[in-house]
Amino acid sequence: MTEAQTADTIFTNGKVYTANPDQEWAEAVAISGNKIVYVGDDGGAEAYRGAGAERFDLDGMMVLPGFVSGHDHLIASNWTKAGVNLFGSTSKAEYLERIKRHADTHPDEGFVFGYGWDRQSYGGLPTAKDLDSVVADRPAMIFDFTVHDLWFNTKALEAGNVTKDTPDPQPGFSYWSRDNAGNPDGVGIELCWSDAFIAAGAWQREELITASQRSLYQTAAAQGFTAVINQGLATPNLTNLAASLDDHEYAFEMLDELDREGRLQLRTFQQVLYKDAEGSVDQLVGAALEMRRRFDSDRLRVSGVKIHPEGNWNSHTSLMLEPFSDTPGDCGKAGVSPERVREIVLAANAAGLDVSVHVDGTATTRTTIDAFEEAIKKGYSDARNSLQHYHNAHPVDQQRVIDLGLTVNTTPLFGTDWSNSDDQARKILGEERIQTTYMPYIGAFEAGLKVSLSADVPSSPQDEASALLNIEAAVTQRDPGNPNSKVFPPGREGLPLEQAIQGVTIFPAWQARMENKIGTLEVGKYADLVVLEDNLFEVEPRDIADVRVRATMMDGSFTHRDGI
């Protein structure tokens, strides 16, 4: 045996689930440098032990390929999760009481921040006067649970220069809620609040991007993640293409420095975001290509373009084929037109860039499929374009997705009764659509599509963003954090565990064009793996999210260790 064949790290006596159909289970893994050199039984691994090899007896613990997120915003989004956590509140009174308690116990904070409200449990849209009743001495800004809408008190409206004369960026889609006299009365819908947030002094780019990245990457590594497709940089500038591209530059120079210093905890594949309806397509594609020229390694790469054309079905800011059940005649709005989405898809694919599109409403799903199909007909069949979120799809379009072999991403947690999503679905979509168009990702799995599962941080709180949590949600169709959760939609069967694991390993690796390098445990692939205390195939489905992550390794180095 040559020196090159000896291992630096050997894991033995484990239950190794490789996610490789040609060798599904093993006992041991040997690693040399940043590559896997052996997967097999314990006896075979001994042959790779060199004088300096570090050996870990796992005593039956489980080893999996490192988890890959197909859709999160981990670089810069944690500023939306500052302050008081309102998830789980069930009434207006409870929301206000929690905010008051936080404000009273943090008197020296210049801003009162928070997150997690939803209009269903609040009883409608909150107002500045409501917030004034508990915080009147300083600006307060509270994100809803999707982080698309932001609730201001009067001092925050004043600090952000929001007045009756403040125009709505896109009336009916991105706008200020207003009283009968036309005065903004407290809530900025679908990111119309961005300029006010910046004007109020709440956005400090260098401080907040740095702090977000440090916190979110550390947490993700502790949850077993080794790679992320960062689906757009989430800063208050995301509706201003030029400013957003500048933020991208800053963030990637920071990540590149971490990578050169050996401190980058996740492989990061960035999609350059487009949410500025007036932004230049040429500028977008040109900037993405230039950034990919500068950042194109297996640890840090600009891999494509992300289009964010709409908001969310539960705030009526997505585009539907049929009206929302609670607002007859209202089929929603689009922020970026289907024509512009098509233009970007074709231009990006022609330049060799993959395209991800946020599809929340049935109409946006259909027109995006149209664009992807046209790209295929024009010869861009190698493009790995993807439907992100995939919350609502007409059965006709579900079949088109299957026939075209498109890539899909979704967040299983959002399809359960988490955060009143079941009540909102019943009210806004109605029972028929819940059964026919809502969260159709299971059918996509069954048809053999490459479906990735992820948390969509910051829409999911950091502590509810683990791959294990979304595996459990996919398998059980219930909210892992709620012991009283019921299957939703009623009667729906979940995924087999094997498929759910594929959704956080090999399928998102394929989406990132890394399937030959990560996503399964095979000789020659990068040493990206996670060690779990228990075997997922031996625990109860409702206990999957509680399984402890004992270690995470990316590129042959530990990024998280807990008793290993």
Question: 357-368: per-residue pLDDT in tens?
Answer: 999 999 999 999
Average pLDDT over residues 173-190: 97
**pLDDT band for position 51 (cuts 50, 70, 90):** confident
Q: What is the mean pLDDT of residues 495-522?
A: 98
CB 505 within 8 A of CB 520: yes
Q: Which CATH number fits domain 69-75+204-511: 3.40.50.720, 3.20.20.140, 3.50.50.60, 3.40.190.170?
A: 3.20.20.140
Q: Cβ distance 149 to 188 under 8 Å? A: yes
Count other Cβ atoms within 10 Å, centred on residue 32.
Answer: 21
Residue 125 predicted with pLDDT over 50: yes
273's enclosing H/E stretch is strand 267-274
Per-residue pLDDT tens for 188-237?
Answer: 999 999 999 999 999 999 999 999 999 999 999 999 999 999 999 999 99
Cα 535 to Cα 81: distance, rounded to the nearest angstrom: 32
Phi, psi values for residue 44, rounded to 5°: -65, -30
1 has a pLDDT exceeding 60: no
- pLDDT of 3 over the 90 cut: no
Q: What is the mean pLDDT of residues 72-96?
A: 95
C-alpha 82: how far from chain center: 18
What is d(CA 157, CA 154) in angstroms, rounded to the nearest whole number?
A: 5
Cα–Cα distance, 410 to 460 (Å, whole number): 12
pLDDT for 2 beyond 90: no
Identify which of 288, 184, 208, 289 has the alpha carbon closest to the alpha carbon of residue 245: 288
Q: Are 332 and 316 in contact (CB under 8 A)?
A: yes
Q: How high is the pLDDT of residue 240?
A: 96
Per-residue pLDDT of 30-39, as tens digits, reads: 999 999 999 9
pLDDT score of 50? 83
Radius of gyration of the chain (CA): 23
DSSP, collapsed to helix, strand or coil, labels residue 452 as strand
C-alpha–C-alpha distance, residues 297 and 288, integer Å: 15
Can you give the pLDDT at residue 507? 98
Side chain identity at 454, as an amino acid letter? S
Residue 290 gets which letter from DSSP? H
Domain spans of the chain? 3-66+523-561, 69-75+204-511, 79-199
Mean pLDDT of 6-14: 97
pLDDT of residue 537: 98
Q: CATH homologous superfamily of domain 3-66+523-561? A: Urease, subunit C, domain 1 (2.30.40.10)
CATH topology of domain 79-199: Diaminopimelate Epimerase; Chain A, domain 1 (3.10.310)
Q: What is the mean pLDDT of residues 293-309?
A: 97
**pLDDT, tens digit, for every residue of 94-115?**
999 999 999 999 999 999 999 9
Instruction: Annotate 164-186 with DSSP letters as a single string.
Output: TTPPPSBTTTBEEEE-TTS-EEE
Mean pLDDT of the chain: 96
